[in-house]
Amino acid sequence: MAAVTPLLLLLLLSSAPSFSSGSRNAYNINGRVKIPQGLGTKGYALPGRMSNVKVLLNGGQNITFLRPDGYFSFHNIPAGTHLIEVSAIGYFFSPVRVDVSARNPGKVQAALTENRKGLSELVLEPLREEQYYEIREPFSIMSLLKSPMGLMVGFMLAVAFLMPKLVENMDPEEMRRAQEEMRSQGVPSLSSLLPGGAMN
């Protein structure tokens, strides 16, 4: 991770060819993994260590590791179409389809399989950071009120204080009628429900 700053991908395209031919019909694939430093520094301290990054060819047929500057290489790879995956805790990398051509060695053919974006050079960057944990919401009154118990208390308060207000705003005539109705139906008032309420 020596001095890797969040660079634009375009700036990197001018470096050396990323494919070099080996002997006979075996080739080397050289590439680079770049983890921009802007990522990984926030959140938990776990990711960002280059030594724990693995680069896998064809589902684990070959496994290699990164050099301190992020470069990696696979040796003695036959011509054909291959798949490179990067395993790094904390980052999501798209697998890369790499065509190693037997006819014109040195020809670069690489594409991200997730979004079919072509790469003119084998520089792999994470598509996004992976956050494995839920973020705990900071304590707020709203969250307490939204919880079932908060709603319960809220509803009760609403009933206790708003209902009398509603009753007040009613027409006195109607009110009386309603009270009479209630009495005739024998609906007990709140005070008579409670112990000691009957003493009145």
Partner 1 sequence: MAIRSFFLFILFFSSSLSPVFSLYEDQVGLMDWHQQYIGKVKQAVFSSQRAGRKRVVVSTEENVIASLDLRHGEIFWRHLLGADDVIDGIDIGLGKYVITLSSGGSILRSWNLPDGQMVWESSLQGPKLSKSFLLVPTNLKFDKDNVLVVFSNGRLHAISCIDGEVLWKKDFEAESFEVQQVIQPPGSDLIYVVGFAASYQFEMYQINAKNGELLKHESASFSSGFSGEVSLVSTETVVALDSTGSILLTISFQDGKISSQQTPISNLVEDSLGLAVIIPSSVSGIFAIKTDAVTVFIRVIGEGKLEVVEKTTHEIAVSDALSISEDQQAFALIQHASSEIHLTVKLAHDWDGNLLKESVKMDWQRGLVHKVFINNYIRTDRSYGFRVLIVMEDHSLLLLQQGEIVWSREDGLASIIDVTTSELPVERNGVSVAKVEHNLFEWLKGHMLKLKGTLMLASPEDMAAIQSMRLKSSEKSKMTRDHNGFRKLLIVLTRAGKLFALHTGDGRIVWSHLLRSLHKSEACQSPIGLNLYQWQVPHHHAMDENPSVLVVSRCGPSSDTPGVLSFVDTYTGKELSSLSLDHAVVQVIPLPYTDSTEQRLHLLINADKHAHLYPKTSEALSIFKREFLNIYWYSVEDQNGIIKGHALKCKCTGEVADEFCFDTRDLWSVVFPSESEKIVATVTRKLNEVVHTQAKVVADQDVMYKYISRNLLFVATVAPKGSGEIGSVTPEESWLVAYLIDTVTGRILHRVTHHGSQGPVHAVFSENWVVYHYFNLRAHRYEMSVIEIYDQSRADNKDVWKLVLGKHNLTSPISLFSRPEVITKSQSYFFTHSLKAIAVTSTAKGITSKQLLLGTIGDQVLALDKRFLDPRRTVNPTQAEKEEGIIPLTDSLPIIPQSYVTHALRVEGLRGIITVPAKLESTTLVFAHGVDLFFTQLAPSRTYDSLTEDFSYALLLITIVALVAAIFVTWRLSERKELQEKWR
Q: Which residues bind partner 1 (CB under 8 A)?
A: 23, 28, 44, 46-47, 50-51, 54, 56, 58-68, 73, 75-76, 78, 80-83, 85, 87-90, 92, 94-95, 97, 113-114, 130-134, 136, 138-139, 144, 147, 149-150, 152-153, 156-157, 160, 164, 189-191, 194, 197, 200
In the complex, minimum distance from the CB of residue 147 to partner 1, in angstroms, rounded to a whole number: 7
Vertex 156, ends 160 and 182: CA angle to 5°?
A: 50
Q: Alpha-carbon distance 93 to 132, whole Å?
A: 15
- CA gap 140, 83 in Å, rounded: 48
Query: Cβ distance 167 to 175 under 8 Å?
Result: yes
Go through the chain and tell me how many residues it has. Answer: 200
CB of 175 to partner 1, least distance (A): 12
- Closest CB to partner 1 among residues 10, 193: 193
The residues near 108 (Cβ < 8 Å, ≥ 6 apart) are 17, 18, 19, 119, 120, 121, 122
Which pair of tokens denotes residue 90? 């904390």
- Would you say 10 or 175 has its CB closer to partner 1? 175
- Shortest separation between residue 40's beta carbon and partner 1, angstroms: 12
Name the minimum Å distance from CB 161 to partner 1. Answer: 9
Q: Cβ of residue 38: shortest distance to partner 1, in angstroms?
A: 18
Of 24 and 185, which has the nearer Cβ to partner 1? Answer: 24
Query: How many other CB atoms sit within 10 Å of the CB of residue 112?
Result: 17
Contact 94, 114 (CB under 8 A): yes
How many CB atoms within 10 Å of residue 91?
20
Nearer to partner 1, 153 or 182 (CB): 153
CB 96 within 8 A of CB 33: no
Please say which residue, 14 or 140, places its beta carbon nearer to partner 1.
140
